[in-house]
Amino acid sequence: MINYRNDRKGKKCVIWTRVSTQYQQENGGSLDYQKALCEKYAKSEGFSIADVGENHGYFGGKHESAKTPGKMVRQMISIVKKDVSIRYVLVSEFDRFSRSNGQAITILEDLRNIGVVVIAVKTGFNTATKEGFLMARNSLNVAEWDNDNRVDKFYSGRQHCYECGAYTGVLPRGYYRQGKSINSVCYLNDDGRLIRLAFQMKLHGCSNGEILDALKSRGLEITKQSLNHYFNNPFYAGKIHSKMLEEGMVDGNIEKAVSYEEWLEVQRIMSDRSGKYKHKKKKEEYPLKNYVACADCGTHFTAYRVKAKGKDYYKCNQIGCKTNVSAEEMHDKYQELLYSYDVPTSLLMQYENVIRELFGQYTEESSKQLTLLRKQLTDIDNDIKKCTMKYATDKLDEDAYQMAMEEFKSRKAGTERELKKYDLNLSNLEDKIRLVIVTCSKLGTLWKQGDLDIKRRIQNLVFPEGILWDKGKRNYRTENCNEFFKLLDGFSMSYGDKKETPSIEDVSMCAG
């Protein structure tokens, strides 16, 4: 029960301002506006602002939750209770204390019971009388209804966007957004393409330390915790995951860093359910660790050192198998295996001709696509000019013009992205051909002399699915070899003693 007879005397007041979020505070919000309204009202009514508190009668002035009374509002109430010369608290609106009806009314009641009147300067309503307090309650009811209604609209709108595959929330690292609301599409940026590399390295057995080093060398420095967070986020697999969705997760309009199947495999690796990977401190002398598997049990090899002998070994940890091989033997035989795929010097000229012809077929198709995309871009530019001309001559209204331009810009951005891909694919073609030739003529040497990253790149290039060690034959099984290198092997064997240059058909026969 409020004692309305308890009323302080005088014309001293304090001013309370508040916004709900830091974003509102940093981007103008309404703090200055609230303050100006209160100061104007105080001046018009002849009130004086009490010189109390750190800010001399001004309280709040920052963002604070509207759900529960925070530190700033409790501090103001404490000072006002102690200083009986303060009669009024000025606010722009009653809901500046709290959007929660019960919480705001409790604050108003507590202040009124000690003789302090709260005035909402926008409307002039105050809590001095029973009728005034009733108006304050009504104002808070309207504010709460308005807030709930806006939340419901926001929730429903975002839920609909998510169901349609349009992600409108805060983007994870590595993405940028084009389009708005339901038309938004998320694309990988430079960081995103490096995160894609991190996924591929994880899938090929690299440790987190190795991945972090590789990313750092390319300009992306992150923590181990951040890396694990990225690996656990299905967004990078093109999925939207939200409590708003009945099914929990849907396919999004998102450029994937990794396929969903590959993402699930990364989850299995990280949870160690597959038993394939044992991540330890990076050691350059063990490039085959987690890459070579035992042919008998399928377990990937780990590695260790016998300090007493000063020797390194690979082994599988499967109980009942325990294949154990010296690192020296496995390295030597792997190097010999790579040497077998080297193109002999005597065949380099013929091989170069074949590669050029293969690239020629690819570039011919790419050139056709490039021509088509350039024509599409020209057509879009022409459509934009026509649309602009119609708008300039009042043949098209503002809404229709803006809608058309948004569609044209979206189509143009998509075409330019595709155009850029083909431009990149066709650039420096001569360098790409020579790189292929040099790499394939020195596989064994490059692997022997390369660092851990180079070794793993070559391994994953030649045997992308890994390779098996047959402990009975004490050698590798090569059935998982990249088809391209099978082609090279057949090419070398079939044409080693011939002088004529093989054709594309000949190479296809070697591969088949």
pLDDT of residue 64: 57
pLDDT at 234 over 90: yes
Annotate 110-134 with three-state secondary structure: HHHHCCCEEEECCCCCECCCHHHHH
- What would the mean pLDDT of 231-235 be, rounded to a whole number? 93
What are the residue ranges of helices labelled H in 393-472?
Answer: 398-426, 429-441, 443-449, 452-462
3-state SS assignment for residue 293: strand
Domain 12-155 and domain 164-282, same fold? Reply is no
In angstroms, what CA-CA distances link 266 with 44, 231, 251, 401? 68, 7, 19, 47
Task: Give the three-class secondary structure for 395.
Answer: coil
Q: Is a pLDDT exceeding 80 seen at residue 227? A: yes
Q: Inform me whether the pLDDT recorded for 461 exceeds 90.
A: no
Task: State the chain's mean pLDDT as an integer.
Answer: 80
Average of per-residue pLDDT across 250-257: 91
Q: How confident is the model over 30-34, as a mean pLDDT? A: 81
187-201, 307-321, 455-469, 478-492, range with the lowest pLDDT = 478-492
Using the predicted structure, report yes or no on whether residue 35 has a pLDDT greater than 70.
yes
CA pair distance 402, 325, nearest whole angstrom: 70
Position 275 confidence tier, pLDDT thresholds 50, 70, 90: very low
State the Cα–Cα distance between residues 18 and 36, nearest whole angstrom.
Answer: 13
How many Cα atoms within 13 Å fall on the side-chain side of residue 396? 16
| Minimum mean pLDDT range among 9-23, 46-60, 257-271 | 9-23
pLDDT at 208 over 60: yes
Whether the Cβ atoms of residue 291 and residue 204 lie closer than 8 Å to each other: yes
| Structure confidence at residue 152 as a pLDDT band (50, 70, 90) | low
Residue that is written with structure tokens 């709930």 in the block = 148
Q: How confident is the model at residue 317 (pLDDT cuts 50, 70, 90)?
A: confident
DSSP state for residue 287 in the 8-state scheme:
T
Is 60 exceeded by the pLDDT of residue 67? no
pLDDT at 27: 44
Domain ranges of the chain: 12-155, 164-282, 345-376+408-495
Output the DSSP codes for 223-240.
Answer: -HHHHHHHHH-GGGGTEE
Q: In the prediction, which pLDDT does 426 show? A: 46
User: Tell me, what's the pLDDT at 90?
Assistant: 94
Instruction: Give the pLDDT confidence of 102-126 residue by residue, as tens digits.
Output: 788 888 988 998 999 999 998 889 9
The token duo for 453 is 């990253």
Per-residue pLDDT tens over the stretch 327-337: 999 999 999 98
Phi/psi of residue 391, each to 5°? -65, -40
pLDDT at residue 154 tops 50: yes
What pLDDT does residue 348 have? 65
Place of tokens 């002088």: 499
- Among candidates 483, 481, 359, 369, which has minimal Cα distance to 415? 369
Q: Are 248 and 240 in contact (CB under 8 A)?
A: no
Burial class of 103 by CB neighbour count within 10 A (0 to 12, 13 to 18, 19+):
middle
For the cut 50, the answer to whether the pLDDT of residue 509 exceeds it is: no
Share of the chain above pLDDT 70, in %: 77
Q: Find the range with the poorest average confidence among 124-128, 196-200, 275-279, 310-314.
A: 275-279
Mean pLDDT of the 136-152 span: 73
Q: Measured between alpha carbons, how far is 96 from 92 in angstroms, rounded to an integer? A: 7
DSSP 295-316: TTT-PBPEEEEETTTTEEEEE-
**In whole angstroms, how far apart are CA 236 and each of 10, 64, 337?**
64, 34, 36
**Which of the following CATH numbers is that of domain 12-155: 3.40.50.1390, 3.40.109.10, 3.40.50.2300, 3.40.50.300?**
3.40.50.1390
Residues 6+ apart with CB under 8 A from 380: 408, 411, 412, 415
What confidence score (pLDDT) does residue 479 get? 77
Average pLDDT over residues 41-56: 92
3-state DSSP assignment of residue 292: strand
Instruction: Name the least confident of 69-78, 165-174, 360-369.
Output: 360-369
CATH of domain 164-282: 3.90.1750.20
Task: Print the SS3 string covering 43-57.
Answer: HHHCCEECCCCCCCC
Question: Cα–Cα distance between 397 and 391 in angstroms, integer?
Answer: 7
Check pLDDT > 80 for residue 189. Answer: yes
- Separation CA 50–CA 84 (nearest Å): 11
Alpha helices in 341-397 (DSSP H): 348-392
Average pLDDT score over residue span 375-387: 87
Q: Using alpha carbons, list the distances in angstroms from residue 325 to 205, 439, 480.
A: 20, 29, 21
Residue 345 CB neighbours (<10 A)? 8
Q: How many other C-beta atoms are found inside a 10 Å radius of the C-beta of residue 141?
A: 12
Over residues 48-52, mean pLDDT:
92
pLDDT at 22: 57
- Residue 172: predicted pLDDT: 92
Q: How far apart are CA 186 and CA 305, in angstroms?
A: 47
Q: Return the SS3 of 38.
A: helix
- pLDDT at residue 443 in the model: 78
In this prediction, residue 153 has a pLDDT band, given cuts at 50, 70 and 90, of low
- Report the distance separating Cα 168 and Cα 160, nearest Å: 10
**249 beta partners:** 241
- Residue type, position 110, single letter: D
Q: pLDDT confidence of 421, banded at 50, 70, 90?
A: low
Confidence of residue 407 (pLDDT cuts 50, 70, 90): confident
Q: Which residue from 326, 379, 503, 350 is spatially nearest to 440, judged by alpha carbons? A: 350
3-state secondary structure of 220: coil
**Statement: residue 32 has pLDDT above 50:** yes
Retrieve residue 162's tokens: 């998510």
